[in-house]
Structure formats: structure tokens, C-alpha cells
Amino acid sequence: MSNAQVKSAMRAFEILEHFRLTQQPRTMSELSVDLGYPLSSTTVLLKTLVNLGYLNYDRGKRVYFPTTKVTGLGDWVPRALFGSGHVIDAMNDVHAMTSEGIFVGTRNDVYLQYLKTKQSLHALRFFIDEGTVRPITRSAAGWVLMSTMTDDKIENMVRRANIATQNPAERMLVPEIFQRIAEIRARGYGWAEDVPFAGGATIAVLMPGTILGSPVTLALGGVTDRIKKNFDKYLGALRLAARSVPAEPDFDTPIHIEL
């Protein structure tokens, strides 16, 4: 696949993501400016998405808006991933007790992916968009997921994640990761400060079962001072919620992910 084809595919998804965020009709020029695309490329992409049935074009108002075909692409995914709903219930329980940002994460190759998020209700907070991925080595939740792996696979994962991490300052040393994982295995939870956000902290625990054959973490994040002040309460809420989830996988036909 050529670089031009890859760029076009990326831009098509970015257009759909833009609609998800704005949730309102947009003109071609607005999309071109908002996304920083050349007008000619934007025109071609929008016409293609209209022809494929993913966008509706109102010729009178000259605006575009997604069709239900877009929702049809993924409306089955939550049921497939979360099945019985116990994982979502656990996340909602922690959110009700803490009002902090809560997320359910799993491994996607060398990344941690935020499968489901619930935003903090506090005035001072960090925002994590659902579906976001970041190197698995750069978060307490990622370390918790890695703690389920054998040492040789952990070392391989760190090296691969470092290759995929463009900023050299964000690459992690293998001994440092092993130290983090040893702490997690000893105390049963993950803790991080200033990773991945400066001034923020995260507590993460492992959940029973798997999603897509991969371990699942339930995590809570927010401003460091607030997390530290309420640490025992927050950790207790996470552990209680995790214990409420049945041990069997939520995904009916799990897919084994090879390292």
C-alpha cells in the first residue's frame, strides 16, 4: 500500500472522529480548516464517504453529517467485548464512589488501549478519550497487564514498545519495568505518578477474565494530591468492583493474542 493510500485511509477515519467530537453538520471548508487538510483532498475524501454511504450531503445547506451506516460499523462491539455487562457495572460502581476518571483497559499489541472510559466529575481533571492507545510501558494500567506475562515476554514487550515509541525520552528501561512489575505482584495493584500525565496519578488493578483473550485492568486516575489523600478509599473501591466481576471471560469466543 502506498503512502498516499495510507494517508487517505487515516484522513477518512479522522473525518469520522471529528464528527464524533463535534456532533454537528460541517461544511467542506470547515472540515478542511479544522483538520488541516488541503481543500482538494478534503473534497475527494468527502465525496468518497458520501458515495460509500457513510456521510450524508445536504446540497441546500452544503453540509455533511454521518449516516447510520457509521454506527452500524460498531454497534455490536460493546456487546461482543463486554457481554454480560459486569465489567461496565464495575466501572460505574467505582465512578459512583469516587467521581474520578475511570477506565477499563486491555492490551493491543504493544499498547494499552482504553476500551471504555468514564470521565471525572471533579473540576480539576484529566481527559482520556475512549479508544486511545499509548505504549503499554507508559502507565500503571499497562504495567498491571504486563505483570501477567512471563519475564522473557515482558522483556520482549518492553523492547518492542520502545521501538514503537517515537520520543526517546518516553522509552523505558527493562530493569525499571521489572522493578515496577515486582511491586505490582507483591502488593496486588499498580501505582504511578506523573505517568502518563504530569501532575496526575493512577491506581490500577487486574480484573478476572479476559477480553479478546487479553487480561483486563480497571483503573482510576486524577490529580495526584487528591488521589493520595483518598488512596485507601479509592483502592478499596477498585478491589471491591474487580471482585464483583465473574472469573469467566466476557467475550464468548476469545481470540488468543500471540506476543
- Neighbour count for residue 156 (Cβ, 10 Å): 15
What pLDDT, on the 0 to 100 scale, is given for residue 255?
35
pLDDT digits (tens, 9 = 90+) for 73-106: 777 666 666 666 788 899 999 999 999 999 999 9
CA end-to-end distance (rounded Å), the chain: 25
Nine-digit cell at 162?
Answer: 520502545
pLDDT digits (tens, 9 = 90+) for 229-244: 999 999 999 999 999 9
Domain boundaries, the chain: 3-73, 77-243
The DSSP letter of residue 257 is P
| Higher pLDDT among residues 54 and 213, named by residue | 54
User: For the chain, where are the E strands, in sequence order?
Assistant: 55-58, 63-66, 101-108, 111-118, 133-135, 190-193, 200-211, 214-223
Please say if the pLDDT value at position 258 is more than 80.
no
What pLDDT, on the 0 to 100 scale, is given for residue 248?
57
- Global pTM? 0.74
Nine-digit cell at 22?
Answer: 463535534
What pLDDT, on the 0 to 100 scale, is given for residue 2?
60
Please say if the pLDDT value at position 259 is more than 50.
no
CATH fourth-level superfamily of 77-243? GAF domain (3.30.450.40)
Is the domain spanning 3-73 CATH 1.10.10.10? The answer is yes
